[in-house]
Amino acid sequence: MTGGPGGPGARRGARAPYLFVAPAVLLFVAFLAVPIGYAVYLSARGLRLTGGGVFGTREEVFVGLDNYVKTLTDPEFFAGFGRLALYGLISVPLTLGLALLFALLIDHAGSRARRFSRTAIFLPYAVPGVTASLLWGFMYLPSTSPFSYLTRELGLGEIPFLGAGGIYPSVANVAVWGGVGFNMIIIFTSLRGIPAELSDAARIDGASEWRIAWHVKIPLVTPALVLTGLFALIGTLQVYGEPTTLRPMTPEISQVWVPLMQIYRDAFLRDDLPLASAASVILAAGTLLVSVVLLKVTQRRASGGMG
């Protein structure tokens, strides 16, 4: 073949790997790298009044870090993160905790109806978040809620699912419902990879099933737990569809309830693309940072614990 460094490396088909990765690289550049670069560029731009007086025109100029300062000093943006944190504090531990619990129970030989439960709990994975929010929304809405129907019949009144006190658990519940099954399957698959001898040995030593789960199984599925935790975290930071779908049903969800909703408003309802870009860059960088820190910390702890 032609060109390339001489010697045995320049063999026939040396171009093959480049051709194999070419479509992925092209798409990566076009839809990940370039958009990020463009967002960073745009985030340093802004509309400024030039000329002054009645004849002043709005012109796009370079404004440096103004948009970042504006975003980072915007109390509404931080309030959005606060609401997101509250939502995440409910949804992430519940999703992971329930996924681990169900995975252990399905792995536990003493449980019945394991196949049925596994399928049933996995089912919501097939339901889009928007559809799930719609279903739960109607189950929250006082006029159609079966739960509020029961409490009303019992003379207890309606459950304020969509009221000020209920809104965080209610939105988080949609995420838990949609996420438990998928995470359960990941953890369960990992549990099945544990050699049976380990549990058997502990059982012969008289350990209870809970002790075996706690001391043998859970430490061995830590990589799967880290992975599911990472997914849950990334999923939390990009929450958008669920609160947006529930919004027509309740006044408790504002237009800027979570950061992505505020970014959407700034970009499309206020036409302030530079500001929205700056907020997008902050959100993406923040997620990257949190993910890397989480991976580093858990890796160190895992190797420290084992070694």
Partner 1 sequence: MRAGALAHQRARVLPTLVLLVGALYCLVPVAWVLVASTKSSAELFSTFTFAPGTGLLDNLRDLFAYGDGRYLRWAANSALYAVAGSAASTLISTLAGYAMAKYEFRGRGLLFYAILAGVLVPGMTLAIPQYLIMSETNLVGSYWSVLLPSLISPFGIYLARVYALSSVPDATLEAARIDGASEYRIFGSIGLPMMLPGMVTIFMLQFVGIWNNFLLPYIMLSDESKFPITVGLYTLLAKGSSEPALYGIAIVGAAVSVVPLIALMLFLQRFWRMDLLSGGLKG
- Tell me: does residue 254 bind partner 1 (CB under 8 A): no
Q: And the tokens for 159?
A: 């459950």
- Tell me: does residue 291 bind partner 1 (CB under 8 A): yes
Give the one residue of 47, 86, 130, 220 binding partner 1; rule: CB under 8 A: 130
- Tell me: does residue 303 bind partner 1 (CB under 8 A): no
Give the contact letters, 180-219, x = binds to partner 1 (CB under 8 A), - = no. xx---xxxxxx-xx---------------x----------
Cβ 52 to partner 1 shortest distance, Å: 30
Give the one residue of 46, 80, 88, 124 binding partner 1; rule: CB under 8 A: 124
Cβ 165 to partner 1 shortest distance, Å: 21
Cα–Cα dist 14/9, whole Å = 8
Give φ, ψ of 103 to 5 degrees.
-60, -45
Q: And the tokens for 156?
A: 């207890």
- Tell me: does residue 171 bind partner 1 (CB under 8 A): no
Give the contact letters, 221-240, x = binds to partner 1 (CB under 8 A), - = no. x-xx-xx--x---x--xx-x
Cα–Cα dist 112/106, whole Å = 8
Question: In terms of CB distance, is 66 or 209 closer to partner 1?
Answer: 209
Cβ 54 to partner 1 shortest distance, Å: 31
